[in-house]
């Protein structure tokens, strides 16, 4: 039994980043994690392993489709799936090991096991009760269940099972055209699976800019993914080796349709996870959607208990959790904690990548805001053309018509997930499109497309 200034429950990107900032601020800090390795969903079974598979399969795609054209002759590589999975595990190991190193470096105690909060100021791990002046709940999220669909993580899988399939399926049905469905769907399409995505809405990635939704779907279709839109999945019948996905189209709801699959990926969203902590007994308030309710400084209604990340409201993104982790540490260290929720980028790590930040054109129009839109296609960007990633991509910047202040942006194109940050920084500084347009951008870079879109908000882009 030990006594701490702060105990953080959950060592995902929210929790571990918060622990480091707490330690940097001189607080005696412990982190509780029941998994064998640190890093939470993101590092173990989410962002990081999926990025390894996205990278490996992108390389395969390049070898199969573009090497010949670049004068790189010879047989295309064949896929050793087990080796690809061990590469992925190695990437995961390096990252989770890195977090463990950071905990030691910052003198943060890792309390191994699953935590409960028996009383305010106490955290129980195994048989030990530790005292804490403050507790931060950073327990994340889990895949949400779909009625009529039983996940066995073998034939009917969530992202967890999809990252570790014993073999590449011949036919895969993905339920949900959100981020997980499209990232993992494109991994398996590149590996040769016949991938069909069944989506309830009429567009992919609900909530994203409409131009992006249309362009992105077209690009994915060209890459071999098939979409069935406006289709509500009603159930999945699974045997030991196969599954049948039953759905109804919104326009013909009385007709039951079905699809056969070797593997079904259920990617219909995630839900906050705080089960078994004992929050109910402590009287911690939850939202209607089962998230922990917090105020603007991440305090719950129970003094001394804070919450951050996927377990509270807001986008379920690792970087949003990290920002909240640092901010809540600042609060605990006696400072003011700040997260600008208006400038949190969203990225889909397909090829090309898709990235967005701020408001969408539609949302601003619906509000009656007077706006300007500057758009530039990657087809006119020399660098993107050189790497076969110009087709269908663009940068779109939306500004206030009167002030030229940047209100939002969307990018489909090479390196979009990195390019978006130029616009995030601009937005943080309240910059205008002209500020970006007047900044010299190196040639030849993808970032020139950002400048051109900014120019298009004013006098006009040069290369269009
Ligand atoms: P999502 O919310 O992005 O997409 C779920 C999709 O499933 C929606 O388009 C929805 O309309 C559809 N759907 C729901 N019920 C359906 C039904 N019965 N039939 C057909 N379609 C149905 O959820 P997803 O992709 O599972 O991701 C979960 C969370 O993880 C998200 O918050 C996402 O932001 C986060 N995430 C972020 C990543 C990134 O930043 N690159 C990567 C992976 C996950």
Q: Are residues 258 and 298 in the same domain?
A: no
Q: Are residues 324 and 383 in the same domain?
A: no
Distance (Å, whole) CA 312 – CA 315: 9
For residue 201, the model assigns a pLDDT of: 97
For residues 385 and 391, is the Cβ–Cβ distance under 8 A?
no
Flag whether 148 is in a domain.
no
Q: Are residues 194 and 319 in the same domain?
A: no
Q: Are residues 129 and 216 in the same domain?
A: no
Mutation to probe ligand 1, out of 49, 53, 180, 212 (largest number of atoms < 8 A from CB):
180
Q: Are residues 234 and 366 in the same domain?
A: no
Mutation to probe ligand 1, out of 54, 143, 173, 176 (largest number of atoms < 8 A from CB):
176
Assess whether the C-beta atom of 146 lies below 6 angstroms from ligand 1. Answer: yes
Q: Are residues 367 and 450 in the same domain?
A: yes
Assess whether the C-beta atom of 181 lies below 6 angstroms from ligand 1. Answer: yes
Q: Are residues 165 and 233 in the same domain?
A: yes
Assess whether the C-beta atom of 189 lies below 6 angstroms from ligand 1. Answer: no
Q: What pLDDT digit, counting tens, does each position of 230-245 carry?
A: 999 999 999 999 999 9
For residue 168, the model assigns a pLDDT of: 98
Average pLDDT over residues 49-71: 97
Question: Is the pLDDT assigned to residue 2 strictly greater than 90?
Answer: no
Flag whether 338 is in a domain.
no
In 126-149, which positions are buried (b, 16+ CB within 10 angstroms) versus exposed (e)? eeeebebebbbbbbbbebeebeeb
pLDDT band at 443 (very low <50, low <70, confident <90, very high): very high
Q: Are residues 279 and 381 in the same domain?
A: no
Final residue in a domain of this structure, among 268, 285, 311: 268
| Nearest Cα residue to 91 out of 139, 134, 135, 52 | 52
For residue 75, the model assigns a pLDDT of: 87
Please give the distance, rounded to the nearest whole angstrom, from the Cα atom of residue 374 to the centre of ligand 1: 29
Q: CATH number, domain at 34?
A: 3.50.50.60
Average pLDDT over residues 84-93: 98
- Full residue range of the structural domain in which residue 353 is found: 346-456
Q: What percent of the chain has pLDDT over 70?
A: 100
Please give the angle made by the CA atoms of 90, 58 and 156, to the nearest 5 degrees: 70
Taken as a whole, the chain contains a residue count of 464
Q: Are residues 316 and 390 in the same domain?
A: no
Please give the distance, rounded to the nearest whole angstrom, from the Cα atom of residue 311 to the centre of ligand 1: 16
Assess whether the C-beta atom of 282 lies below 6 angstroms from ligand 1. Answer: no
**Residues marked as catalytic:** 443
C-alpha distance from residue 438 to each of 283, 318, 376 (Å): 54, 33, 16
For residue 449, the model assigns a pLDDT of: 98
For residue 11, the model assigns a pLDDT of: 98
Distance (Å, whole) CA 31 – CA 100: 11
Assess whether the C-beta atom of 175 lies below 6 angstroms from ligand 1. Answer: yes
Please give the angle made by the CA atoms of 86, 90 and 93, to the nearest 5 degrees: 135
Q: What pLDDT digit, counting tens, does each position of 399-437 carry?
A: 999 999 999 999 999 999 999 999 999 999 999 999 999
Average pLDDT over residues 125-133: 97
For residue 76, the model assigns a pLDDT of: 84
Q: Are residues 227 and 302 in the same domain?
A: no
Flag whether 149 is in a domain.
no
Closest ligand 1 atom to 201 CA = 11
Mean pLDDT, the chain, whole residue set: 97
Please give the distance, rounded to the nearest whole angstrom, from the Cα atom of residue 97 to the centre of ligand 1: 29
Q: What pLDDT digit, counting tens, does each position of 98-124 carry?
A: 999 999 999 999 999 999 999 999 999
Final residue in a domain of this structure, among 248, 268, 288: 268
Question: Is the pLDDT assigned to residue 1 strictly greater than 80?
Answer: no
> Tokens standing for 306?
């804070």
Final residue in a domain of this structure, among 241, 268, 295: 268
Q: Are residues 397 and 291 in the same domain?
A: no
Model's pTM, two decimal places? 0.96
Q: What percent of the chain has pLDDT over 90?
A: 99
Number of domains in the chain: 3
């Amino acid at each position: 039994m030990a006594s701490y200034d702060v105990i953080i429950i959950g060592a995902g990107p929210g929790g571990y980043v918060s622990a480091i900032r707490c330690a940097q601020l001189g607080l005696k800090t412990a982190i509780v994690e029941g998994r064998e390795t640190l890093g939470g969903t993101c590092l173990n079974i989410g962002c990081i392993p999926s990025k390894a598979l996205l990278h490996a399969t992108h390389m395969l795609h390049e070898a199969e489709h573009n090497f010949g054209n670049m004068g790189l002759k010879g047989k295309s590589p064949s896929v050793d799936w087990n080796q690809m999975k061990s590469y992925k595990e190695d990437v995961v190991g390096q990252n989770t090991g890195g977090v463990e190193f950071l905990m030691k470096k910052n003198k943060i105690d890792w309390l191994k096991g699953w935590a409960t909060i028996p009383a305010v100021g106490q955290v129980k791990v195994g048989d030990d009760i530790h005292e804490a002046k403050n507790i931060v709940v950073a327990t994340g999220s889990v895949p949400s269940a779909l009625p009529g669909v039983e996940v066995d993580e073998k034939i009917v899988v969530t992202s967890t099972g999809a990252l570790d399939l014993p073999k590449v399926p011949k036919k895969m049905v993905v339920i949900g055209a959100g981020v997980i469905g499209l990232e993992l769907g494109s991994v398996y399409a590149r590996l040769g699976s016949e991938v069909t995505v069944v989506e309830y809405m009429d567009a992919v990635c609900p909530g994203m800019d409409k131009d992006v939704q249309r362009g992105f779907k077209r690009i994915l279709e060209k890459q071999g993914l098939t979409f069935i839109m406006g289709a509500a999945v009603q159930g999945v019948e699974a045997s030991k080796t196969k599954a049948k996905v039953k759905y109804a189209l919104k326009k013909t709801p009385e007709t039951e349709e079905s699809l056969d699959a070797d593997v079904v990926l259920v990617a219909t969203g995630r839900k906050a996870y705080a089960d078994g902590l004992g929050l109910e007994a402590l009287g911690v308030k939850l939202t209607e959607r089962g998230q922990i309710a917090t105020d603007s400084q991440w305090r719950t209604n129970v003094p001394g208990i804070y919450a951050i990340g996927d377990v509270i409201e807001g986008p379920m993104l690792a970087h949003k959790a990290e920002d909240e982790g640092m901010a809540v540490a600042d609060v605990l260290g006696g400072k003011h904690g700040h997260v600008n929720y208006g400038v949190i980028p969203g990225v889909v790590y397909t090829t090309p990548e898709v990235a967005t930040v701020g408001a969408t054109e539609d949302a601003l129009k619906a509000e009656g805001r007077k706006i300007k839109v500057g758009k530039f296609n990657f087809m006119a960007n020399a660098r993107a053309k050189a790497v076969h990633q110009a087709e269908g991509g663009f940068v779109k910047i939306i500004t206030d018509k009167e002030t030229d202040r940047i209100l939002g942006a969307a990018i489909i194109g090479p390196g979009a997930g990195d390019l978006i940050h130029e616009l995030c920084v601009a937005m943080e500084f309240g910059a205008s499109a002209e500020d970006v347009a007047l900044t010299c951008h190196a040639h030849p870079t993808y970032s020139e497309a950002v400048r051109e879109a900014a120019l298009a908000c004013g006098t006009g882009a040069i290369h269009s």
